[in-house]
Structures are given as C-alpha cells and as structure tokens.
Chains A and B, each alone.
Chain A
C-alpha cells in the first residue's frame, strides 16, 4: 500500500491569507490528485498534480486561487490563496500507486477553517 503524510492536519486562518498544504508519499506514485470535501458534500476533484508541469484543473477551480506544485513523483503542495469563509473545507491529497491499479489512497486530510 502507500503511506501518505499530509500536513497540516488542521488550521484556522484569517480571511485574505493563504495556506499551503503538503503531501508526501512513501511509494512510487503514478497519479496524484487534490480533492475538497465540504460538509455534507461529496468529494470534489480540484486538480490533478502533474510532475514537472502545470496542474490540470477541473471546472470551477483556477490556478490563481489553488496553485499546485509537484516537483517530484512523491511530493506535492496545494495552496489555498486569498482565503474566504467559503474555502472552509477538508482538503485531501490522493494518489494512485504503481502496482495497485486504479485504487486511490488518501491522505489524512486538512481541516481548514477560515474566519
């Protein structure tokens, strides 16, 4: 399987500030994704983090608001920029790992509250 370290686990932030979430995987990763899960909602894909190139964003998400880096195969960051209370959510890193087919492994999540 894969061990995914995601941090911070939670944070309380002020409106207008930015937070960077880190995701580190201990296995060879084929695909890496960032999801958001708002209260009472399903998982929403923000973007696919591409190694060495710009992330692929889903409809409704833009690079200026959610810049993503993936400098190597096993590490990625998601920044939530210029935060507003509407950004309060759980943010999840997930990966597909070589040898495990389409199985998605998830990090423990980041609980973000914006005041």
Chain B
C-alpha cells in the first residue's frame, strides 16, 4: 500500500514565524511532489511542486525534497493569519497509472 503521511496537527505558530510542514512517502519510485493548500470549506489549490532533490523557493514558500530519506517539506516564512489552512501533500509515482497519492493534511493556525 503506497502511502503519504503527514502530521495532522494542528500546528500553531505566531504571526511572522516560520511554519514547517512535513510529509513522508513510502514509494521510492515517486517522481513528483506537490503541496496544496485548502481553506476550510474550499477546494484545494496548488502552491508548490518539486521534482528534484533540494530546495525550491517561491516567495515566502520553500519546498524541500530528500528522495533518499523519502520526505518532502514545506516552509512558510513570515507566516500570516491568511496562511491558516490545511496543507495537503500529494505524491505521484512513475508507474503506468501516475496516480496522485494524497496525505491527510496538516492543519496550520497562524496566530496574530
């Protein structure tokens, strides 16, 4: 059973701090990694994708991938109350079905 695991949280950080969200996956053949943000009552929206080991930065967001250790993380710098949401990790393998495997999500609360 291919799995993606996240700490469900809630993760609570003060405004302006760095929020660190982690995700581990079981399928070593995984090739594509995604972070989606889902506000309460809304549908998910993609915020970051990463395909190679190392860091990828986009504004206040940094995705980090370590394929050897099978984890991917998302850092949010200068956290804002508007970042309060559930963050979903999704992983796609290189097999024929290329199916996305989703984590349960981590709830983040940024306190003013």
Complex CA gap A108/B45 in Å reads 10
Q: Does B69 contact A (CB under 8 A)?
A: no
A104 near B42 (CB under 8 angstroms)? Answer: no
Whether the Cβ atoms of B104 and A104 lie closer than 8 Å is no
Contact, CB under 8 Å: A102 / B104: no
Question: Is A92 an interface position by the 8 A CB rule?
Answer: yes
Q: A42 with B43: in contact, given A103-B49, A104-B100 (CB under 8 Å)?
A: no
A45 closest partner in B (C-beta): B99
Q: Does A75 contact B (CB under 8 A)?
A: no
B43 with A108: CB separation less than 8 A? yes
- Residues on the A chain within 8 Å of B56, using CB: none
Across the interface, do B32 and A106 meet the contact criterion of CB distance under 8 Å? no
Chain A contacts for B72, CB-based, 8 A: none
Query: Nearest-CB distance from A86 to chain B (Å)?
Result: 19
Is B102 engaged at the interface, CB distance under 8 Å to the other chain? yes
**How many interface residues does chain B have, given as a range?**
10 to 19
The contact size tier of chain A is 10 to 19
Chain A residues with CB under 8 A of B36: 104
A42 lies within 8 A of B104 (CB): yes
CB distance from A34 to the nearest CB of B (A): 13
B49 and A42: CB pair below 8 A? no
Tell me which of A40, A42, A58, A103 has the highest count of chain B C-beta atoms within 10 A of its own C-beta: A42
Candidates A41, A45, A92, A107; contact of B100 at CB < 8 Å: A45
Do B49 and A43 touch (CB < 8 A)?
no
Q: Which residues of B contact A92 (CB under 8 A)?
A: 43-44
B105 pairs with A42, CB closer than 8 A:
yes
Given contacts A42-B105, A43-B102, A45-B100, contact A104 B46 (CB under 8 A): yes
Residues of A whose CB lies within 8 Å of any CB of B are 40-45, 58, 92, 102-104, 106-109
Sampled A-B contacts (29; CB under 8 Å): A40-B104, A41-B104, A42-B88, A42-B102, A42-B103, A42-B104, A42-B105, A43-B44, A43-B88, A44-B102, A45-B100, A58-B99, A92-B43, A102-B34, A102-B49, A102-B92, A103-B46, A103-B49, A104-B34, A104-B36, A104-B44, A104-B46, A104-B100, A106-B43, A106-B44, A106-B45, A108-B42, A109-B42, A109-B43
